Amino acid sequence: MGSAVSTWGATYSVVKRGQLRSVLIAVSVVLCFTGTPMAVGSADPLPTPQNDPFYTPPSGWSSEAPGTILNSRPVEVASLGPQAQDADAWQLLYRTTDTAGQPMATVTTVLRPRTGHVKGLISYQVAEDASAPQCAPSFVLRQGAPDKYDSSLDLVQIDQMLSSGHAISVPDWEGPLGAVFSPKQPGYAVLDGVRAAEGFTPLGLSGIDTPVVVTGYSGGAIATGWVAQVQPAYAPEIRLVGVAMGGWTVPVGPYLESLVSGPFSGFLPSLLPGMMRADPHLAAVFNKYLTPAGQALMAAGDSKCVAPNVAQHAFLRMDDYLTIPFSQLFEQVQESFADVDFGNVVPTAPLFLYNAVHDEILDIAPADQAVAQWCAAGAQITYTRYQLSEHVSLAITATPAVLRWIDDRLAGQAAPNGCSTRTVPSMSLGGA
C-alpha cells in the first residue's frame, strides 16, 4: 500500500492547478478502497491466465455452438473485507465469437446468493481498461489475487447486486487478446457469457426464459453498448429486458486523441497494446512509427493494469515516442477507430443511461448526440445528466438508482415508454 501511495503522490504532484480537483477525487476513491483490508488468499499464488491451464479450451472446442461451456470450476470471489463474497461462484470457459466471426474462447465468473430464489441474471461488464491478461476480471476478482487496485469498485458493485438477489455473470469480454476497443466482439462475448450462465444448472436460472439486464460503467459501457447493438441479430433468444450504462462516449478516435498529454494519458499505453493485437492494420501503422522507446512503452504498458499505467504516465506526450506527430499517425488509422464505435444500430432493449456533465475524462457531447439520434429513431431511453458529479464519483453515487432500475426490469415491470432526458445537480439533489 505504501508504494501505491508514493506512486500516486509522485505522479499527481505535477498536476496543473485547474485539474487538481478532478484527479484528487479519483485518487481519493482509489486509495480509500485499496486501503481497505483485502482478502489475503492462500499461501500459493494464483496462476495468471497465461499460466493457467483452465483458460486453454479442449480439443474440438471451435466446432461447438456459441455459448457452449467448455470447462468449469468453483472459485471464491474476493470482497472488500478479509473474507470472500458470501456467494457461490464458479468460472465458466465458453465458446464465443471474435470480431472476424471466428471461434474464440473466454471466461466468465458467475455468482449467485447462497440462499433464496434467484430473480434474474445481470451481466456486469468490468471497466478493465487494460491489455494485460492478469487484468482480466476472472483473475483480479478472485480471492487471493495480488492486486485489488483495479477491482475495488467492482467488488462494491458485485456485493450490491448479490444483495438484491440476482445471479451475476462477469465476463472477460476483452477476450484473450485483451482488446478493449474491438468491433462487435465485446457484445458477442457478453451474450455468449449469458448463454453459458443460463445453461449452467447450479445457478438455478430458467434457461432462455431468464430475464437479463446488462450493465457497465466507463470501459464496461463499451461492451454493454455493443450488446445493445448486436443482441437482436446475434442472440435473439436471450430475454434482454434492459441495458444500463454510464460514463460512456462515442466515437473512440477523438476520445483517445483527447487523452494525449493530459492527466489521464496513461490510458494510452494501457489500451493500445490489446488494440494492436486485435487489429493488424493498427499494429502495422504503430510499429512503423514507434521509436525503440515507444516500443518499450507499449511493452511496459502491456504488463500492467490501468491504475499503475495512469499513475505512472500522467501527461505522457506520445509525440516523444513516435517518428511522426501522433495526430498524423491517427489520420492513417481512422478506419480502424471508426469500426470500433457502437451506435450505428438503434437499440431495441430499454436503456438506462447516465453521464457526468463535467466528466474529467470523457466529453458528454457525443453521448448527448447519440441519445438524441436513438430517440429520434424510436429507442426507449431514460437518460440522466449529473452536473456535480465527476467520472469516478458518479460510478459510486449512481449505483442505488441503477440497481433500482435493474430490479424493476428483472421483476417484470415495464420501462417507461419513449425517451426522457433530464439534467439534475446530483444523485442526492433530485437525481436518484
| Residue at grid coordinates 449505483 | 399
Closest to 78 in 3D by CA, of 118, 121, 33: 33
CA–CA separation, 135 and 148 (whole Å): 10
Give the number of other Cβ atoms within 10 Å of residue 64's Cβ.
Answer: 16
C-alpha cell at 80: 472488500
The catalytic residues are: 218, 359, 391
Residues whose CB falls within 8 Å of the CB of residue 95, separated by 6 or more in sequence, listed in order? 57, 61, 62, 64, 65, 66, 67, 68, 70, 103, 104, 105, 192
